[in-house]
Structure 1
């Protein structure tokens, strides 16, 4: 095999930077000290990390192109110009709040609609959270959920700088939320989503199911009655009872196998 081709779509430097940051952080401030660095199913999630970037990148690229076309066709040029003319900090705040509201709605749908839950269950099947767990997700899940949140980003005329800041913050925040760290953000816990906030979303505990859907701002969970977090403790168990199979390939076809059996 030509290794240059393989390394072409693996951002080795980015992955190394993530490991160098979150590896020590998870050792110094662990939410679960007993969890080993090479925990269960880490190889499966490593495959998700490497392989998923191709279909997700293509899918989100198509969403971005469609959103730009919709913006040109449906949003007045004067409005888009006025958005881009706002101070960068204001653009960034508005974009992040708006994108997270749409993400909240889509994420909640993936927990509510059975066909969508079969896709999202792959992400929730992980029983040991760490930064690598953020990558265990079906490409359709990421394309539909994150893609929907990107529509206003590209359609409404936000500047390239605001978009860049949003993408960087979203990516690193996502890794932090899933990481095995005990960080609660203190008095800001209900302002910005923390690892503690998101860990309870992954708790295998009926009292905490279908809670904490927001990716960045708990505000949306507070407004729509789905906020719940214990800042004095972390979940004892993660995962779900659904029989999601191990291995990347089987997880990719799992949602459709279940659907075909249900329809039979």
Structure 2
């Protein structure tokens, strides 16, 4: 089951969503399907945890629920606004409307993924973007649901990076809704606390065994594995890292020079706009992690 979890969860939920919408099921059923995915994610994390401690609340559950509710509401509103946006954009008839819905979805996935990945990459290099993105990196445990934990402004920037070219090409409402749903499913997998074994699929999909390394708090050690869906983008960017000799714990997560980063939801919304950002010495890299990096390099 540890080997099957990733591909079955990803292909099962996204494939079911494409099938439903292709056969005339209303888009309003996608949020209900996402709730089913979240519940199943929780159940599997309880059954096969990567870290048992990550299943326990650290006074962050209500905050994560709030982040997810706000951000997913904005996603729904953004998708719903596409018909209004289409009224303002010229129709150049560039979109392959005659393709089956499934093929249209397969077309948008790598394009959106590249745009989101580049915004994510820039967010670790530009201080103003990092201030917004730091909200996501403040987590001190990783479980599927806090993949949805982002500052709403940063989520908007990622969404624009991933979808603006597609919207200009005339991406239909149904395809945009499927893309938003697929992103939510992928975020559940990226941050999952399931001790999944993904084998050769790590060369294709950017799931939790790779993305946990991105959340390391030790300076630039976490400036790796930026991709949302497909790990090959990181190989093209030169930011791919896959070492399996080190087990990530809650002591490895967070922001190394901001151990006092606010935990409460409203405080996290305001934090990026504070003029003075408290500075602390960077967290020292544990000896065992240094050894793992040396051996795998």
Whether 1:20 and 2:33 are equivalent positions in the alignment is no
User: What are structure 1's unaligned runs of at least 5 residues?
Assistant: 1-10
Q: Contact (CA 8 Å) 1:208, 1:228: kept in 2 or not?
A: no
The CA RMSD measured in Å over matched residues stands at 2.7
- CA drift of 1:147 comes to 2.6
Whether 1:203 and 2:216 are equivalent positions in the alignment is yes
Residue 110 of structure 1 aligns with which residue?
123
Residue 264 of structure 2 aligns with which residue?
247
Aligned equivalents of 1:255, 1:128: Cα separation in 2: 21
Residues 66 and 16 of structure 1, relative CA distance in 2, 3 Å threshold = closer
Aligned equivalents of 1:134, 1:185: Cα separation in 2: 19
Residue 141 of structure 1 aligns with which residue?
154
Whether 1:35 and 2:35 are equivalent positions in the alignment is no
Aligned equivalents of 1:35, 1:253: Cα separation in 2: 26
Matches within 5 A, 1:143-222: 143-206=156-219, 208-222=221-235
Moved more, 205-214 or 159-168: 159-168
Residue 261 of structure 1 aligns with which residue?
276
Residues 56 and 245 of structure 1, relative CA distance in 2, 3 Å threshold = farther
Q: Contact (CA 8 Å) 1:49, 1:136: kept in 2 or not?
A: yes
Q: Secondary structure of the residue that 1:149 maps to in structure 2?
A: helix
Q: Secondary structure of the residue that 1:85 maps to in structure 2?
A: coil
Q: Contact (CA 8 Å) 1:91, 1:162: kept in 2 or not?
A: yes
Q: Contact (CA 8 Å) 1:64, 1:151: kept in 2 or not?
A: no
Matches within 5 A, 1:225-240: 225-236=238-249, 237-240=252-255
Q: Secondary structure of the residue that 2:203 maps to in structure 1?
A: coil
Aligned equivalents of 1:56, 1:162: Cα separation in 2: 13
Q: Contact (CA 8 Å) 1:118, 1:255: kept in 2 or not?
A: yes
Q: Secondary structure of the residue that 2:193 maps to in structure 1?
A: coil
Q: Contact (CA 8 Å) 1:111, 1:117: kept in 2 or not?
A: yes
- CA drift of 1:233 comes to 4.2
The counterpart of 2:92, out of the listed 46, 55, 76, is 76
Residues 167 and 112 of structure 1, relative CA distance in 2, 3 Å threshold = same
Residues 135 and 162 of structure 1, relative CA distance in 2, 3 Å threshold = closer
Residue 5 of structure 1 aligns with which residue?
none
Residue 63 of structure 2 aligns with which residue?
44
Q: Contact (CA 8 Å) 2:34, 2:185: kept in 1 or not?
A: no
- CA drift of 1:126 comes to 0.5
Residues 198 and 14 of structure 1, relative CA distance in 2, 3 Å threshold = same
Residues 40 and 170 of structure 1, relative CA distance in 2, 3 Å threshold = same
- CA drift of 1:139 comes to 0.5
Aligned equivalents of 1:84, 1:162: Cα separation in 2: 11
Residues 52 and 162 of structure 1, relative CA distance in 2, 3 Å threshold = closer
Aligned equivalents of 1:246, 1:121: Cα separation in 2: 12
